[in-house]
Amino acid sequence: MASATAVTAVGAVVGMASGSEAKPVQAADITGATLLADVPSGTDAQVISDNIGQQATAQQQQADAAAKQAAAEAARVKAAADAQAKADADKAAADAAAKAQAAAQAQQEAANRAKARSQLAVTSTSDSSDSSSSSDSTPAASYSAGSVQALAAGIIGDNTQFQCFSNIVTRESGWNYTAVNPSSGSYGLVQALPGSKMASAGADWRTNPATQIKWGLGYMNDRYGSPCGAWSFWQAHSWY
């Protein structure tokens, strides 16, 4: 097929040959026009189409892979968060159970001691009999609560520590050195359980408040550092 320029040129020649008045012929502006030679042939067009399709497929595959990766990461994060939340809940439940058990135990101990204090009995006759059968056959002396307190103050020395010691003994036995807990069998000023523990301070532990005071003071120092340390624990738990 002839180009536009060729057609224009032929038209101009024909017009001059026919004798017609020559008129200027304005050439068509084909700047930027796509020549037929530039249009891809059937085979090239198919190749280009295939390439475009392959690129679109690759892009779609990349997008799908990215979406799967994001979903997997989100699932991993959620699983980790769920596991941590379960661990925290289990720990909180275990802590609560432990606290409840400790509180129940402390309450039971306090109830036992309160019952014991309400049922404290002076068993002078039986104590005298027990003393006769013990390795120490010295007759039991009679001590008033005031004299026992004065004895304890002299043994302990420090007034602050004596006051803490007194706070405990007042609540445990009311300064009755022959006090017996009918439920547990704890005995004496500091309610040692069993009372025979106090034999380490003297064989006359049943009848001698000084022996009981020495043992009780040693127990408080060894376990709590001092009578005041024991008193702090007693205030929190109602036992020591």
Residue 198 DSSP one-character state? G
Q: Write out the two tokens for 194.
A: 């069993």
- Render pLDDT for 214-236 as a digit per residue (tens, 0 to 9): 999 999 999 999 999 999 999 99
Cα→Cα distances 219→180, 190, 193, 213, 215, Å: 19, 10, 12, 10, 6
Q: What percent of the chain has pLDDT over 70?
A: 66
Query: What are the boundaries of each domain within the chain?
Result: 50-118, 121-237
- Put simply, whether the predicted model's pTM sits higher than 0.85 gets the answer no
Nearest-angstrom CA–CA distance, 58 and 53: 9
- The DSSP result for 86-121, as a single string, is HHHHHHHHHHHHHHHHHHHHHHHHHHHHHHHHHT-E
- Render pLDDT for 9-46 as a digit per residue (tens, 0 to 9): 444 444 444 444 555 555 555 555 555 556 666 787 77
Q: Write out the two tokens for 175.
A: 């300064």
Q: Write out the two tokens for 142.
A: 């009679």
Are the C-beta atoms of 120 and 112 separated by less than 8 Å? no
**Cis, bond preceding 194 (omega within 30 deg of 0):** yes
Q: Write out the two tokens for 51.
A: 């390439």
- Using only C-alpha atoms, the chain has a radius of gyration, in whole angstroms, of 54
Q: What percent of the chain has pLDDT over 90?
A: 38
Residue 174 DSSP one-character state? T
- Render pLDDT for 124-161 as a digit per residue (tens, 0 to 9): 334 434 443 343 433 445 788 888 999 999 999 999 99
- Give the domain 121-237 fold: Lysozyme (1.10.530)
Nearest-angstrom CA–CA distance, 54 and 70: 24
Q: Write out the two tokens for 43.
A: 């085979």
Nearest-angstrom CA–CA distance, 79 and 239: 47
Are the C-beta atoms of 108 and 238 separated by less than 8 Å? no
Nearest-angstrom CA–CA distance, 132 and 192: 21
